[in-house]
Chains A and B, each alone.
Chain A
């Protein structure tokens, strides 16, 4: 069965520190990859997505992620975090085979706390 693993469950950073959140998935076929963010009291919203092409994708609010196929990874990065980045971050995957249903497999989530 497909699964998604986020290694960091709770990350605490100071403002201006660099961020990298890990995401690995287990599926041998072609995948579509997503990062979602849930700010306190707000809807889950899309940060960025990868389907094909350049494996380095840029999203909103200065976030980017790199797809490394050989490592089954899609890590999220930001060079300098702000207090407003405090949120929960979810990595999600669907396989091209099931993509016509849009079903997503989510990771466990990472809570990011940025100290001012």
Chain B
């Protein structure tokens, strides 16, 4: 089955600790994205990457970091600098073939709770 996997599904961390969320896709998509979902605020873009070894900040990048060493993988690190890290995190990917109008496909999400 082709798709996007995110692990773990639930994650608990103590305040002040960095934590890394995994995102893997086997869709052979070029672009990958990280969003944060909070109740009543929709999805907000944290980081995105259109190609291996390159990534760009989204609207709320402060306190987060990413890497894109492989096409299939786009891990997100939530650092201790993120003031309000408790949220639902969604990873997405998108092909850039056949034009720029393709939709994003989403993973199941990771719910991070910082205690």
Residues of chain A whose beta carbon lies under 8 Å from any beta carbon of chain B: 4, 6, 9, 32, 34, 36, 42-46, 49, 51, 90, 92, 96, 99-104, 106-109
Contact = CB atoms under 8 A, between A and B. Distances in A.
B40 interface: yes
Contacts of A108: 40-42
Given A34-B103, A49-B103, A100-B100, A106 B50 contact: no
Interface in B74-104: 90, 92, 94, 96, 100-104
B106 A109 contact: no
Contact of B33 (A42, A45, A102): A102
A6 B42 CA distance: 10
A90 B92 CA distance: 15
Contacts, number: 60
B66 interface: no
A99 B104 contact: no
Contacts of B48: 101-103
A96 B33 CA distance: 18
B56 A101 contact: yes
A96 to B, nearest CB: 8
B52 interface: no
Contacts of A34: 103
